[in-house]
């Protein structure tokens, strides 16, 4: 993909997202009270028109933990805010987004005046620039939408607090790598069960790896094959998605329970490619995208993002890095 093609695809994605998000939710009138509904885009570039007044929103992206101040264009009209999501807190005339809100998550709320009621929706976008510290480490290591790659590292001491042993078939005895974070583990179980209904039998091979495990693995590649080989086929400690507890390498009997590129051409691999997003997973390292992701094609490497974000990424046809770049 040329630079020109990439920028064109980026513009198209933004247009598509905007077209989808700006759908009017509906309107009704009862007892003399006007009831309108509006969906906000990200970034927010326009105000919400509410008839006799406008709801003024800050321009820019809405991120996890952000306090979003709501104002009207008329100071003589009093109003209240009502959250329609238990995780979205009202703080006077402001909304407090939850600290663990992830990209693509939507929060609905009401702006109420004496004779007007406006329903709106905010979509969260935790951008790459906003979540990267000066030392190259991420500021949101525990977030489901954290992006880890060769330029974005996890802290050395980071370890998820909610690791559980996966309840699916596995093929390696090491108890550490048979773990995922609880939400990802439950999603993996549901995906494996759904696959079985289609006569697809998947096996989990390698999930969570601690920082120290990745040190040992990377050093082993360097000692046995050299630095260049290690950088091509392994991740530096802190730069592995496996440390997040949100990544699982899967396999099948059709490839001898190994991690092979040919897995992508098997019935199992094709099923995963078509359905993983329905359970919150994406194939993190697509074919031909090494220059963007930093890694060769890995049809076996699944990354959990949650159903909403995984579906957005899958439908866009972009890598995770490219998708997040459309939000900058």
* 311 burial via Cβ count (<10 Å: 0-12, 13-18, 19+): middle
Full set of structural domains in the chain with CATH: 3-123 (2.60.40), 129-325 (3.30.1380.10)
Of 1-15, 35-49, 143-157, least confident by mean pLDDT is: 1-15
pLDDT tens column, 77-88: 899 999 999 999
Judged against a pLDDT cut of 60, whether residue 241 lies above it is answered with yes
Share of the chain above pLDDT 90, in %: 71
Q: 166 pLDDT band (50/70/90 cuts)?
A: very high
Backbone angles phi, psi at 188, to 5 degrees: -65, -45
240 neighbors 214 (Cβ within 8 angstroms): yes
pLDDT tens column, 300-322: 999 999 999 999 999 999 999 99
Nearest alpha carbon to residue 129 among 138, 142, 116? 138
pLDDT tens column, 191-208: 999 999 999 999 999 999
Share of the chain above pLDDT 70, in %: 83
Rounded distance, CA 123 to CA 137, Å? Answer: 25
Kindly give, in sequence order, each residue whose CB lies less than 8 Å from that of residue 319, ignoring residues fewer than 6 positions away.
286, 289, 292, 293
Selection from 45-49, 74-78, 98-102, 111-115 with the highest mean pLDDT: 98-102
Greater pLDDT, 54 or 43: 54
DSSP 109-177: EEEE-SSEEEEEEEEB---TGGGB-TTSBBS-TT-TT---BTTBB--TT---S-EEE-SS-B----SGG
Q: 250 pLDDT band (50/70/90 cuts)?
A: very high
pLDDT at res. 306: 97
Q: What's the mean pLDDT when you consider all of the chain?
A: 86
Judged against a pLDDT cut of 60, whether residue 21 lies above it is answered with no
Mean pLDDT of 242-270: 98
pLDDT at res. 81: 94
pLDDT at res. 60: 65
Judged against a pLDDT cut of 50, whether residue 5 lies above it is answered with no
Mean pLDDT of 22-50: 40
Rounded distance, CA 268 to CA 226, Å? Answer: 33
pLDDT at res. 17: 30
Of 45-49, 82-86, 224-228, least confident by mean pLDDT is: 45-49
Q: Report residue 324 as tokens.
A: 């997040």
pLDDT at res. 56: 77
Rounded distance, CA 101 to CA 97, Å? Answer: 7
Judged against a pLDDT cut of 50, whether residue 299 lies above it is answered with yes
Q: Where are the alpha helices (DSSP H) in 22-113?
A: none
Predicted structure pTM score: 0.83
Judged against a pLDDT cut of 80, whether residue 24 lies above it is answered with no
């Amino acid at each position: 993909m040329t630079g020109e093609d990439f920028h064109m695809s980026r513009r198209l994605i933004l247009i598509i997202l905007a077209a989808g998000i700006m759908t009017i939710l509906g309107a009704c009138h009862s007892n003399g009270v006007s009831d309108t509904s509006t969906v906000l885009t990200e970034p927010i570039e326009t105000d919400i028109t509410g008839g006799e007044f406008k709801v003024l929103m800050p321009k820019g992206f809405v991120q996890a933990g952000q306090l979003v101040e709501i104002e009207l264009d008329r100071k003589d009209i009093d109003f209240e805010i009502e959250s329609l999501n238990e995780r979205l807190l009202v703080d006077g005339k402001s909304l407090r987004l939850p600290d663990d809100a992830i990209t693509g998550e939507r929060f609905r709320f009401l702006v109420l005046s004496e004779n007007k009621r406006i329903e709106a929706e905010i979509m969260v976008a935790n951008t790459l620039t906003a979540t990267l510290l000066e030392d190259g480490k991420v500021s949101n290591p525990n977030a489901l939408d954290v992006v880890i790659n060769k330029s974005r590292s996890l802290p050395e001491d980071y370890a998820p607090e909610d690791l559980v042993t996966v309840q699916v078939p596995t093929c390696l005895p090491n108890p550490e790598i048979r773990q995922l974070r609880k939400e990802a583990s439950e999603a993996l179980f549901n995906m494996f069960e759904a696959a079985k209904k289609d006569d697809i039998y998947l096996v989990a091979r390698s999930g969570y790896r601690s920082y120290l495990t990745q040190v040992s693995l990377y050093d082993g590649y360097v000692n046995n094959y050299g630095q260049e080989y290690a950088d091509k086929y392994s991740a530096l400690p802190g730069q592995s998605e496996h440390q997040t507890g949100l990544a699982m390498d899967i396999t099948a009997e059709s490839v001898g329970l190994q991690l092979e590129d040919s897995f992508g051409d098997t019935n199992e691999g094709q099923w995963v490619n078509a359905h993983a997003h329905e359970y919150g997973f994406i194939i993190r390292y697509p074919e031909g995208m090494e220059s963007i992701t930093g890694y060769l094609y890995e049809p076996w490497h699944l990354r959990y993002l949650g159903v909403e974000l995984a579906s957005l990424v899958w439908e866009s046809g972009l890598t995770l890095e490219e998708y997040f770049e459309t939000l900058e």
